[in-house]
């Protein structure tokens, strides 16, 4: 599903590489953690995957498409295969829960009846079907993150990228969120979750990539899987 | 397709409702900018109109060395009238001149008693077509006159005409410089206001790009929004201009010494009004488009 070959990324010509010589393969339906200290290159790696950054060197293939050489006109179509979840949720505060989730489908030009059906379904799945007309700020952090996850999942993405999704949440809520990721993964969505929270891996052991100063220093499969 | 158009229009209207402050700021800025440019245009048009009325008085008077014999008068008048610049020809014989002089003196006309009317020179008064009521036109008339008549002296308000020419040139120059400056300032203010309103909504633009919206999908509602705001701004500017024209300017100016009683101030013609509103729409669309490019990076 995702293949990286010798991928490097530098933000300036004389600055240190944010990602160095990264080569890795992620299979369809895999769930993996990307860990490392702040500045290890986790966010840069994810940003390159959804084509917000271009690698300075190397090739990235997603679903057999070469993302490192993608034209800007094709980027929207790549992103429709990828859901992204952020630490700060990135919700539209002026719109309701329903509108926030519907937005992702509308952007793809889906018909109205399709949109409403799908949005209701996915909000039910994340347990927010009773909050349709609320604005994000009226909800708790955990609920806001669930809206963001609903928005990412509503398009049935092949890949879900999550950048520190639990960074602003307490542990109980984090585990609820992890449950949502696990369920999506069980339906076949490939999941890459960047985090520095080791308790997640202890509770939900999965493959772990460890980055350090842009380099891949560890790639561990969970022992009991 | 219809579904999409409907979606885009609804989206644009909903955006405007969701950001009432930003939306009214854009509309007002555009209205003010357009009203300023249009007011300036009206001032220039009216001053030019006023100036061109002053030139109605311009005529060339050719004083002759000898009065024209009666039998030659018709032919000579015809000849002068054949000059392309000349609109009217009036022959003033020495007797006519004396009568005018007397009339001028009014109660003191008795002073002229016993004066030989032939003392005064005969003259031709040439009225010119409005297009030739300027230095070049007059020079051409004079050249032709001197070839066809024995002219003793010529009067055409030389000094006044020169000053008037300078005035008109200055007016045009100021018009172009100030008008250009105003137009530039209006564009600058409008595009910056739109930029600010988009800056306030950059999260929305970022998220749209993130969930796979195409550039077109992002642009169209913003363009429509810009067009609607521009339309409202243009109409507002027009309404403001019309009201202030009717209630303030024409009333206060009509009692002002500058405007003769039969002088009607010009307002925008129907076409110019349409241009003003269309300019608002174009301003809105271009302003949105140029600013969008800065905030949307796919």
Beta partners for B61? B125, B155
Touching check for B78 and chain A: CB below 8 Å? no
CA distance A127 to A178: 14
What integer pLDDT is reported at residue A223 of this predicted model?
A: 67
Q: What is the mean pLDDT of residues A37-54?
A: 91
Q: What is the mean pLDDT of residues A84-105?
A: 90
In terms of domains, do B137 and B168 share one? no
Interface of B with A in 19-38 (CB under 8 A): 19
H/E stretch holding A60: strand A57-62
What integer pLDDT is reported at residue A26 of this predicted model?
A: 93
What integer pLDDT is reported at residue B82 of this predicted model?
A: 87
CA distance A56 to A36: 21
Final residue of a structural domain among B126, B156, B186:
B156
Q: What is the mean pLDDT of residues A128-139?
A: 91
In terms of domains, do B25 and B168 share one? yes
CA distance B3 to B5: 6
In terms of domains, do B25 and B71 share one? no
Note whether B212 contacts A111, CB cutoff 8 Å. Answer: no
What integer pLDDT is reported at residue B20 of this predicted model?
A: 86
CB nearest to A79's CB, from B18, B211, B217 = B211
Sheet of B59-64, strand order = B86-92, B123-128, B59-64, B151-155
Note whether B204 contacts A92, CB cutoff 8 Å. Answer: yes
Domain that holds residue B177: 2-54+163-295
What confidence category does residue A122 fall into, taking pLDDT thresholds of 50, 70 and 90?
Answer: very high
In terms of domains, do B210 and B289 share one? yes
Helix then strand then coil, % of chain B, to nearest 5:
75, 10, 15
Residues A126/A149, Cβ–Cβ less than 8 Å: yes
Secondary structure (DSSP) of A65-133? EEGGG--TTTHHHHHTTEEEEETT----TTS-HHHHHHHHHHTTT--HHHHHHHHHHHHHHTT-GGGTT
Residues B179/B40, Cβ–Cβ less than 8 Å: yes
Final residue of a structural domain among B135, B156, B177:
B156
B123 CB-near residues (< 8 Å, 6+ apart):
B61, B62, B63, B64, B91, B92, B97
Note whether B213 contacts A107, CB cutoff 8 Å. Answer: yes
> Tokens standing for B125?
């008064």
| pLDDT > 90 fraction of chain A, expressed in percent and rounded | 56
Helix then strand then coil, % of chain A, to nearest 5:
35, 25, 40
In terms of domains, do B105 and B199 share one? no
Q: pLDDT digits over A4-21, tens only? A: 999 999 888 888 888 899
> Tokens standing for B180?
């250009």
In terms of domains, do B286 and B178 share one? yes
Distances (CA, A) of B293 to B16, B26, B198, B285, B289: 20, 18, 11, 13, 6
**If we measure between CA atoms, which residue out of B122, B123, B149 comes closest to residue B62?**
B123
> Tokens standing for A137?
């700020």
Per-residue pLDDT of chain B (298 residues; tens, 9 = 90+): 777 788 888 888 888 887 888 889 889 988 998 898 888 888 888 887 777 777 777 888 888 888 888 888 888 888 888 888 888 899 988 888 888 888 888 888 777 777 887 788 889 898 888 788 877 888 888 888 888 878 888 888 777 878 888 888 888 888 889 888 887 887 788 788 878 888 888 888 888 888 888 888 888 888 898 899 999 999 999 999 999 888 877 666 666 655 555 667 778 888 999 999 999 999 888 888 888 877 776 5
Contact residues, chain A, for B16 at CB < 8 Å: none
What confidence category does residue A193 fall into, taking pLDDT thresholds of 50, 70 and 90?
Answer: very high
**If we measure between CA atoms, which residue out of A152, A141, A209 comes closest to residue A183?**
A152
CATH of the domain at B117: 3.30.70.3040
In terms of domains, do B128 and B99 share one? yes
Residues B294/B195, Cβ–Cβ less than 8 Å: yes
Look at chain B and report how many structural domains it folds into: 2
In terms of domains, do B128 and B250 share one? no
Count of helices and strands (H, E) across chain B: 10, 4
Note whether A106 contacts B7, CB cutoff 8 Å. Answer: yes
What integer pLDDT is reported at residue B112 of this predicted model?
A: 77
What confidence category does residue A224 fall into, taking pLDDT thresholds of 50, 70 and 90?
Answer: low
Q: What ipTM was predicted for this assembly?
A: 0.84
In terms of domains, do B50 and B168 share one? yes
**If we measure between CA atoms, which residue out of B155, B281, B292 comes closest to residue B228?**
B281
Note whether A79 contacts B210, CB cutoff 8 Å. Answer: yes
- The whole-angstrom distance between B214's CA and the closest CA on chain A is 5
Note whether A104 contacts B204, CB cutoff 8 Å. Answer: no
Residue A225 has pLDDT above 70, yes or no: no
In terms of domains, do B180 and B276 share one? yes
In terms of domains, do B137 and B217 share one? no
- The whole-angstrom distance between B226's CA and the closest CA on chain A is 20
Final residue of a structural domain among B110, B131, B156:
B156
CB nearest to A92's CB, from B4, B203, B213 = B203
In terms of domains, do B88 and B196 share one? no
Q: Which of A107, A161, A163 to mutate to test the interface with B (most CBs of B within 10 A)?
A: A107
Residues A132/A160, Cβ–Cβ less than 8 Å: no
**A-B Cβ pairs (cutoff 8 Å, strict):** 55
Residue A79 has pLDDT above 80, yes or no: yes
Mean residue pLDDT of chain A comes to: 90
Going B40 to B42 to B45 to B50, the CA torsion angle's sign is: negative
Q: What residue of B is the nearest CA neighbor of A70?
A: B298
Note whether A76 contacts B214, CB cutoff 8 Å. Answer: yes
Interface of B with A in 196-215 (CB under 8 A): 203-204, 206-215
């Amino acid at each position: 599903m995702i293949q990286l070959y010798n991928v490097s990324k530098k933000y300036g010509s004389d600055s240190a590489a944010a990602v160095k010589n990264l080569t890795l393969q992620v299979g369809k339906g895999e769930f993996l953690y990307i860990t490392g200290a702040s500045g290890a290159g986790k966010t840069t790696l994810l940003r390159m995957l959804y084509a917000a950054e271009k690698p300075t060197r190397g090739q990235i293939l997603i679903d057999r498409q070469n993302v490192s050489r993608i034209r800007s006109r094709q980027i929207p179509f790549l992103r429709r295969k990828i859901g992204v979840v952020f630490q700060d949720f990135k919700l539209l505060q002026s719109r309701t829960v329903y509108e926030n989730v519907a937005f992702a489908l509308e952007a793809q030009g889906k018909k109205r009846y399709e949109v409403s059906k799908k949005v209701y379904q996915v909000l039910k799945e994340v347990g927010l079907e009773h909050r349709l007309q609320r604005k994000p700020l009226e909800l708790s952090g955990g609920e806001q993150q669930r809206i963001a996850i609903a928005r990412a999942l509503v398009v049935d993405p092949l890949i879900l990228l999550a950048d520190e999704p639990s960074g602003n949440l307490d542990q109980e809520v984090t585990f609820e969120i992890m449950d949502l990721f696990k369920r999506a993964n069980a339906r076949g969505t490939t999941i890459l979750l960047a985090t520095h929270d080791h308790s997640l891996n202890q509770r939900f052991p999965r493959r772990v990539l460890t980055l350090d100063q842009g380099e891949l220093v560890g790639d561990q499969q969970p022992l009991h899987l | 397709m219809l579904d999409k158009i409907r979606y885009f229009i609804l989206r644009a209207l909903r955006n405007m409702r969701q950001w009432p402050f930003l939306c009214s700021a854009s509309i007002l800025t555009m209205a003010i900018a357009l009203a300023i440019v249009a007011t300036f245009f009206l001032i220039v048009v009216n001053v030019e109109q006023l100036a061109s009325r002053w030139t109605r008085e311009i005529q060339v008077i050719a004083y002759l060395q000898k009065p024209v014999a009666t039998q030659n008068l018709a032919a000579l008048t015809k000849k002068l009238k054949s000059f392309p610049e000349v609109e009217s020809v009036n022959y003033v014989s020495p007797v006519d001149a004396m009568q005018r002089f007397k009339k001028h003196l009014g109660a003191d006309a008795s002073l002229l008693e016993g004066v030989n009317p032939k003392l005064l020179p005969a003259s031709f008064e040439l009225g010119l077509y409005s297009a030739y009521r300027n230095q070049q036109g007059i020079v051409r008339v004079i050249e032709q006159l001197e070839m066809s008549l024995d002219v003793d002296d010529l009067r055409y308000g030389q000094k006044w005409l020169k000053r008037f020419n300078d005035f008109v040139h200055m007016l045009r120059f100021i018009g172009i410089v100030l008008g250009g400056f105003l137009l530039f300032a209006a564009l600058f203010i409008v595009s910056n206001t739109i930029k600010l309103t988009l800056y306030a909504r950059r999260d929305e633009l970022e998220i749209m790009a993130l969930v796979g919206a195409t550039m077109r999908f992002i642009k169209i509602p913003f363009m429509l929004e810009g067009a609607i705001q521009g339309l409202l701004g243009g109409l507002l500017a027009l309404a403001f201009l019309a009201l202030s024209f009717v209630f303030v300017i024409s009333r206060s100016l009509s009692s002002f010494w500058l405007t003769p009683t039969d002088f009607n101030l010009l307002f925008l013609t129907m076409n110019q009004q349409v241009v003003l509103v269309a300019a608002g729409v174009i301003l809105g669309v271009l302003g949105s488009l140029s600013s969008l490019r800065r905030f949307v990076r796919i």
